[in-house]
Structure 1
Amino acid sequence: MAHGPRYKVPRRRRREGKTNYYKRYVMVLSGKPRLVVRKTNKYIWVQVVVAKPQGDVTVAAAHSRELVKRYGWRAGTKNTSAAYLTGMLAALRALKAGIRNAVLDIGLHRPVKGARVFAALKGALDAGLEVPHSEEIFPDESRIRGEHIAAYAAMLAQNNPELYERRFSIYLKNGLQPEKLPEHFEEVKNKILEDYRDVLEKVKAAEAVQQ
């Protein structure tokens, strides 16, 4: 263990592996709100946070569980499709609160190309939130729509019905055939956009004035 007269004990959250304070410092210096994306073993959580002297203030937030309760989502709450929809929902709420720009904060999650945290970012961008990014980091559109899950489910249903029942028990319990996930994704996405249609119209009107 490090020691000596110049040794400084790391902050508690750094010791616990929860916060990279250098990255946080750089993001705070940008002066922009942070699009905070976190994932657990069951859910995706997206927040738009503004740094204040007294501490972080959450301006808008969305949880993938809301997709189930508010919009009838019947698939998994931690997959790529759910991450995209949660990011879109959080961004629409941020736009409604007057936030137009942000910087991405994925915490200690690894920045792997196509990861769920970047699916959430794609959802936020498609909603109209402006966040610096590289196009190469996003999952394929087909993956966001859940086409890979649908194809795998169709294969299992034909070749191994028992495994199909086990792997997709939650989908089937919720009344969704996993082969129809892409269609269900579009249905829920349209519900979210319709719910915030007035926000999108205001954003488009503001963009038209700027042009």
Structure 2
Amino acid sequence: MANGPNYKVKFRRRREGKTNYYRRYAYVVSKQIRFVVRITNKYVIVQVVKIDPKGDITLAAAHSIELVKKFGWKGDTNNTPAAYLTGYLAALRAMKKNINKCVADIGLHVPSKGARIFYAIKGAIDAGLKIPIGEVGIQDSRIKGEHIAKYAEKLKNENPDLYNKLFSKYLERGLNPENLPSHFDEVLNKIKSSGG
């Protein structure tokens, strides 16, 4: 680590790898409402945030655990379909508060093609929110979890022990992973009918 009279210690959140202050500055100067997506090891968290000098104000939010508790989701809470549904739910709540346009805030995530973060944003766009993202490699089949269902079906035939091990949580919740796309449609319809 550098030292001496001219060395400046970086901000704590920068040292911890939590905040990119260059990107944050760009958001503050733009004064636009942000569609903030964060993915943890277990959950997807989506917030619609307005910048304020005293601190950010959250206008609408959705958490993937709500999919389980309110809408009967039986899949994982941080996979691609869960990211899409969480983004969709957050967008419905934002539009209830007359928010129609946002900019995407992906934080420190690397913007690689096909990343789950972009599926959450795609969910918001499909719900009616205007968010410019460009070409990010979104595949419609992955939205419903068809890739998970195909892998589960293949694994069930080839290696039943590994199938039971990898998809144990799905099976505990009463969902055969091969039926994930139809279950996704059920939950999406529940979210639409609830209005957020």
TM over 0.5: yes
Checking the alignment, whether the CA contact within 8 Å between 1:101 and 1:131 is kept in structure 2 is yes
Instruction: Please give the alpha-carbon distance, in whole angstroms, between the structure 1 residues aligned to 2:2 and 2:104.
Output: 33
Deviations 1:1-39 (A, max 9, x none): 233444322111111100001101101222211111101
TM-score normalised according to structure 2 size? 0.97
Q: Which amino acid aligns with 1:104?
A: A
Instruction: Please give the alpha-carbon distance, in whole angstroms, between the structure 2 residues aligned to 1:7 and 1:98.
Output: 47
Per-residue deviation, 1:139: 2.5
Per-residue deviation, 1:53: 1.1
Per-residue deviation, 1:160: 1.3
Instruction: Please give the alpha-carbon distance, in whole angstroms, between the structure 2 residues aligned to 1:51 and 1:102.
Output: 12
Deviations 1:102-123 (A, max 9, x none): 1111110111110010010000
Asked if 1:196 is matched to 2:195, the reply is: yes
Identity of aligned residues (%): 61
| 4+ long deviations beyond 3 Å | 3-6
Asked if 1:113 is matched to 2:122, the reply is: no
Partner of residue 149, structure 1: 148
SS at match of 1:27: helix
Instruction: Please give the alpha-carbon distance, in whole angstroms, between the structure 2 residues aligned to 1:33 and 1:164.
Output: 43
TM-score normalised according to structure 1 size? 0.90
Instruction: Please give the alpha-carbon distance, in whole angstroms, between the structure 2 residues aligned to 1:155 and 1:176.
Output: 17
Q: Which amino acid aligns with 1:144?
A: I
Instruction: Please give the alpha-carbon distance, in whole angstroms, between the structure 2 residues aligned to 1:106 and 1:126.
Output: 18
Instruction: Please give the alpha-carbon distance, in whole angstroms, between the structure 2 residues aligned to 1:50 and 1:87.
Output: 17
Within 5 Å, give how 1:1-211 maps onto structure 2: 1-134=1-134, 136-196=135-195
Structure 2 spans left out of the alignment, 5+ residues: none
Deviations 1:139-190 (A, max 9, x none): 2010111001000111111121111111110111101010010011111111
- By percentage of residues, which structure has more helix? 1
SS at match of 1:137: coil
Structure 1 spans left out of the alignment, 5+ residues: 198-211
Question: Structure 1 37/60 Cα, relative in aligned 2: closer, same or farther at 3 Å?
Answer: same
Question: Structure 1 140/75 Cα, relative in aligned 2: closer, same or farther at 3 Å?
Answer: same
